[in-house]
Chains A and B, each alone.
Chain A
Amino acid sequence: MNTYSSETRHAFEKTLDWLNQWACARSYGLGSRIPWDTQYLVESLSDSTIYMAYYTIAHLLHSKIDGSELGPANIPANQMTDEVWDYIFLKKDLPKTSIPESTLRELRASFEYWYPLDVRVSGKDLINNHLTFFLYNHAALFPEENWPQGVRTNGHLMLNGEKMSKSTGNSMTLREGVEKFGADATRIALADAGDGMDDANFEENNADSAVLRLFTEREWCKVLLFFIKWKLMYRNKLLVCRKCDLRGRSRLSLTALLRMR
């Protein structure tokens, strides 16, 4: 598996050292009942970390995020039996069900198109819980060919060198960034903020200078291309009648523009 950095791999290995002490069941909260002792629940991390597989078919199963409306496959939740899931995810035989075979085939095709997943991107603080369970659950349930191909982790995002926090007012949403600097300059400053395990730092000064950089660069490209075209036309003697005039002007403005940064 590609971990994109050795820090991420080390953090996984450290987690594996103590994970056998993790309590996999609890008596309250969300989770599936343990089949042989229904007073206990599987705790949520042990229970739910293959939902990336669900993403591959969710768009067919429901058209509203809360599941209140059926999706294009037109299958109510109670028809999604264990046998149906096994058919879709694990290449098992066609189940006895009222769901049409063509629909089942479509669900399986969608899963097999997307899996194995190429990369899961998440915060570094999730390595020792969510991401490790994600690997274990996939390894336990799927054949090796459908194990995750990569995990990329990143640090937290700071703003102007300070921790982001609603209480101090040092915060910026993506929408606010786009409104302030435009999408491209925001993206440049975000890329420049850093994307490794260390915390990234979004500097508003960098976003400001990206706006200026993109603008002046476009002007430079326009002028040079105009000049290239003009020179071609001039060579073809299309502009002979105005050549003295244009020549003088272009030289002047070109000199000025070439100095432009």
Chain B
Amino acid sequence: MRSERPFSTFFDRAFENEMNSLIEQTTAHYDATNYKTALKTGLFDFQNARNWYRDVTGGDMHRDLVLQFIEAQALMLTPIAPHWSDHIWREVLQRVFLT
């Protein structure tokens, strides 16, 4: 796990970009009440992007991106899987407020 700043590899930047893109798409799908596509971009595609990043870096991921992924995943899944997301937010991330 790396923590240097700014990101040193292409894969870091590509993964960050992919996350941001999927977050925006998911927001748009939720706004349009299209829950099936929100689930696709917010859960399935999001995890696939993470799996790709994990594999291409051989597990040597960037700490900030891992944290960003876990947070964004919990937030995006809240409307559909609220109990799981709350568990991740409070018990795993040990966060209390939306800050």
Contact = CB atoms under 8 A, between A and B. Distances in A.
Interface of A: 4, 119, 152, 182-185, 187-188, 191-196, 213-214, 217-218, 221-222, 224-225, 227-228, 231, 254-255, 258, 261
A228 B67 contact: yes
Contacts of A258: 54, 59
Interface in B43-99: 43, 47, 51, 54, 59, 63, 66-67, 70, 73, 80-84, 87-88, 92-93
A151 B28 CA distance: 18
A152 B33 contact: yes
Interface of B is mostly: helix
B36 A193 contact: yes
A14 to B, nearest CB: 23
Contacts of B33: 4, 119, 152, 195
B80 A187 contact: yes
B22 interface: no
Interface of B: 1, 3, 32-36, 38-39, 43, 47, 51, 54, 59, 63, 66-67, 70, 73, 80-84, 87-88, 92-93
A231 B67 CA distance: 14
A185 B81 CA distance: 7
Contacts of A225: 67, 70, 92-93
A195 B33 CA distance: 9
Nearest to B67: A228
A194 B92 contact: no
Nearest to A227: B1
A261 B51 contact: yes
Nearest to B42: A191
